[in-house]
Amino acid sequence: MNSLTLSLPLQLLSLSLLILSTSSSASPHKIPRLSVLHETIIRDQSYYNTIFSASASSEHLETFFYTQTLDHFNYKPESYATFQQRYVINSKYWGGANENAPIFVYLGAEAAIDGDISIIGFLPDNAPHFKALQVYIEHRFYGQSIPFTSMEEAVKNESTRGYFNSAQAIADYAEVIIYLKQKLSARYSPVIVVGGSYGGMLASWFRLKYPHIALGALASSAPILYFDDITPENGFYSIVTKDFKEVSETCYETIRKSWAEIERVASNPLGLSILSQKFKTCSHLNNSQELKDYLIATYSNAAQYDEPPSYPVTLLCGGIDGANEGTDILGRIFAGLVAYTLNSTCYPVGENNIPSETEIGWRWQECSEMVFPIGRGINDTMFPPAPFNLTQYIMNCRSLYGVPPRPHWVTTYYGGHDIKLVLHRFASNIIFSNGLRDPYSSGGVLEDLSDTLLAVHTAKGSHCLDILTAKKTDPQWLIKQRKVEVKIIDGWIRKYYADLLALT
């Protein structure tokens, strides 16, 4: 058994949501990617110190590798190949198999599991109360759970990347959980699965597909309804707009007017040089769209991760509104950027850095099944129009991978249409938690679907905030949200024990 070393700051940054560009939703990798945490949080040193001191120390973490089946849904000889899938256990607070003590399982998403273990506080914060075993399982094709050599090589290979999808991933989790329960002689220990963002989607889908394995699921910030035509395509950017408008009407107006001003300056013979200097870009702008993409990504990140105590949207608008009297529109926009990024020496606008493992993997997932039709119409947000174009999206995916995406597969396999009517009939024990300042909440479940399919949301909450490590500075509304979730899970487990006693 190997002890896990907690991730370093740079490793944690790899978890960040990176909106590569948002000028056009045609390119599959230009859609805002899902992730539990964004790097703007890490710049707050007090928060950084808190999460690392509060998270489980490495001495209580043990790393294992399960010999996982490559293909759960085929019986060709090559389907029986295996790979080593990483999972991590913290048994510090577990009451043991003799007590049928619960098992909390965190479902890894589009990154190595290390960073999640460092920041996901819901498991270690509540394990003492429940006497729960904590288990963290890494998603196939990420971290140390890549079936073939490296992520880059695996995704390049036309045959191997076919095994890289959500259905295979949750089947992996099912195998690992069953194996663990057998290994620990914990047959009657109830399992609660937890996930955030894409991982939250996996948690809800896991409960739907494997109710015999997981008693319940906590799905944090899981936009399971942002597929097909269920959610309006401008849902994401409409909430970004609402967040800024609520903080400051003048800030919102300045941003809305800035796009035309950028184009006006760029149209001059030396316009791109002027913009490059004004916005301190690390390299010379090739076109005005690069700057607009960067700003759109910045505003979207600020809204998605508008967490206390820093509240990035307030920081950004404070810079825009607080610029010296007489400052022009673009000067105010830059002042907001400085306030948000703590005055960087330069800004990497339009730069194409070497993609991370997460970016490589998520690009393929977007080009296979995770097709979020996110776009913007004319004058329906504070941003320039960029309608979602499925035809162009498919063409781009074909050029990248030689195959088209399956934009309707998620709703075919997991459901989504008429969700209240459908899930009310057969589903149970799922918490859909959301913060309404999170743009992805537009695709989340925001109302109770039944007595056991429950929506827990907060007006001021942001992306996955409820499952991050609790801090002394947390506002009361966040503390209350977490208490409500714990109470619901407590009820599920109590009922399970009562049923177990009655049946055995």
Higher pLDDT, 90 or 148: 90
Residue 342 confidence (pLDDT): 83
Note if the pTM is more than 0.75: yes
**CATH-assigned architecture of domain 238-341:** Up-down Bundle (1.20)
Task: Report residue 132's pLDDT band, with 50, 70 and 90 as the boundaries.
Answer: very high
pLDDT tens-place string over residues 197-212: 999 999 999 999 999 9
Question: C-alpha angle with apex 356: 278 to 298, nearest 5 degrees?
Answer: 30
pLDDT at 231 over 70: yes
pLDDT at 23 over 70: no
Residue type, 500: L
Structure tokens at 456: 């827990």
For the ranges 39-48, 86-95, 318-327, which has the lowest average pLDDT?
39-48
pLDDT at 54 over 60: no
* Mean pLDDT, rounded, for 299-327: 96
State CA 167 to chain mean position distance.
18
Residue 354 confidence (pLDDT): 83
Arithmetic mean of pLDDT over the chain:
90
- Of the residues 16, 27, 197, 368, only one is catalytic, namely 197
Residue 315 confidence (pLDDT): 97
Share of the chain above pLDDT 70, in %: 89
At residue 443, the 3 state secondary structure works out as: helix
Residue 42 confidence (pLDDT): 37
**Length of the chain, in residues:** 504
Residue 150 confidence (pLDDT): 86
pLDDT tens-place string over residues 77-89: 999 999 999 999 9
Is 441 among the catalytic positions? Answer: no
- Of the residues 172, 306, 438, 466, only one is catalytic, namely 438
Residue 49 confidence (pLDDT): 46
45-228+410-503: CATH topology: Rossmann fold (3.40.50)
Q: How many CA atoms lie within 13 A of 165 on its CB side?
A: 20
pLDDT tens-place string over residues 389-412: 999 999 999 999 999 999 999 999
| Spatial separation of the C-alpha atoms in residues 160 and 141, rounded to whole Å | 10
Is 438 among the catalytic positions? Answer: yes
Would you tell me how many other CB atoms lie within 10 Å of the CB of residue 242? 18
pLDDT tens-place string over residues 238-282: 999 999 999 999 999 999 999 999 999 999 999 999 999 999 999
Residue 26 confidence (pLDDT): 40
List the alpha helices (DSSP H) in 151-229: 151-156, 166-183, 198-209
Residue 352 confidence (pLDDT): 76
Q: Tokens 């460092």 label which residue? A: 118
- Domain range annotation of the chain: 45-228+410-503, 238-341
* Mean pLDDT, rounded, for 412-434: 95
Residue 58 confidence (pLDDT): 65
Task: Report residue 152's pLDDT band, with 50, 70 and 90 as the boundaries.
Answer: confident
pLDDT at 381 over 60: yes
Is 288 among the catalytic positions? Answer: no
pLDDT at 137 over 90: yes
- Of the residues 220, 310, 463, 466, only one is catalytic, namely 463
* Mean pLDDT, rounded, for 105-113: 96
Residue 149 confidence (pLDDT): 81
pLDDT at 213 over 90: yes
Ramachandran sector of residue 131 (left: φ over 0; alpha: ψ -120 to 50; beta: rest): left
